Amino acid sequence: MSILEALNRHTGGGRKVTIDEMVVDVSQDWLLACDVQQGFMQAPRTPGTSFDFSARCRQVRALGGDCYNFIPLEDDRFAFVVGDASGKGLPAALMIANVQSCLRTAALFTGDDLEVLLKVVNNLAHASSSDDRYATLFYGVFDGTTRILRYVNAGHNPAVVLRRDGSVQCLETGGAPVGLFADSEYRAGSVELETGDLVVAFTDGFIEATNHEGKEWGVQRLLKAAARSGQSSPNAEDLVDSIFNSLDQFSQGRQTDDATLAAVRVI
C-alpha cells in the first residue's frame, strides 16, 4: 500500500476535521509525517566490501512503530538497528522516532561502547516517554576487517546467524526494552562471522503473521525461507524480497501488525 493510499484511507483523501470552531486540513501534515518516518529508515546505496545488506518495513497503517537503519562508519564498519515500539499507529511512530533520535544523539559521545550507548538511549527514552511506552531494539556494529559483529539486544526478538554449514546461532545478549525502566543495564555480545554467513533480524509482526487456519508463520519457517533464498538470491535486496514473498504465500497477504526484516550477508 502506497503512502498516498494510506493517507486517503485515514483522512478521506484530504477531508477537513472540525475541532471546536476551527477547521484544520490534516492531510498535508499526515503526508509529511509519513515522509519523515520513511527518511529514518535508510540503507546506503553502496554496501561495504565485506557485507551485502538490505531491509524492508511493511506497515499496517500509514505510520507505524517498526524501524530499521544502516549507518556507515569509518574503517569498513557500519551500525545496524531494527526496532519495534509498543502499540500501533501514530503513538508507536512517535515512540520509535524518539528512540531513533536518542540513538543518533547518544552515538555522538559514547564511541564504541555499546553498553553505555544503550544505557544512555534507555535513560533518554524513559525520561521523554509516558510510562506505558517502550521499544525493543537490536543494535549491532559490523566490522569488515575482523568479521566480528558486536551487538546489544534490548528485549527484541533474537537476531539469527545462519551459518554456511547450516548451523544457527541466536543473538540474545542485552537487556530490557528501552524506555521501560529508568535504571536498566545492558551487556554487549559478539559473534565472529565467515564468508557465506547470513544475519537476519526481524520484528514480531513478521513471525506472528497467520494463515487462514490461524497458524503463525514462526521463526522456523522464516529460517527455512532465509536458507532457501540465501542460496538462490544474487544479493541481499532480492533475498529480503524473496523472504517476504514466502511469508505472503503462507499468510495469503494477511497482515495485522507492522513487519520488518533486515538481512546482512557476509561476502
Task: Report the CATH architecture of 41-266.
Answer: 4-Layer Sandwich (3.60)
Q: What is the enclosing helix (H) or strand (E) of 160?
A: strand 159-162
pLDDT for the residue 43: 63
Tens of each residue's pLDDT in the chain, 267 residues: 444 444 454 444 444 444 444 445 545 554 555 555 555 666 665 556 789 999 999 988 878 889 999 988 888 889 999 999 998 888 888 899 899 989 988 988 888 899 999 999 999 999 998 888 999 999 999 999 999 999 999 999 999 999 999 999 999 999 999 999 999 999 999 999 999 999 999 999 999 999 999 999 999 999 999 999 988 999 999 999 999 999 999 999 889 999 999 999 999
CA 226 to chain centre: 17
Ordered DSSP codes for 55-110: EEEE-SSSS-SEEEEEEEETTTEEEEEEEEESSSHHHHHHHHHHHHHHHHHHHHHH
pLDDT for the residue 17: 46
Quote the CA–CA distance of 122 and 127 in Å, as a whole number.
Answer: 8
pLDDT for the residue 208: 95
Domain ranges across the chain: 1-40, 41-266
Quote the CA–CA distance of 35 and 184 in Å, as a whole number.
Answer: 32
Kindly report the pTM of this predicted structure.
Answer: 0.85
pLDDT for the residue 1: 47
Please give the grid coordinates belonging to residue 150: 558486536
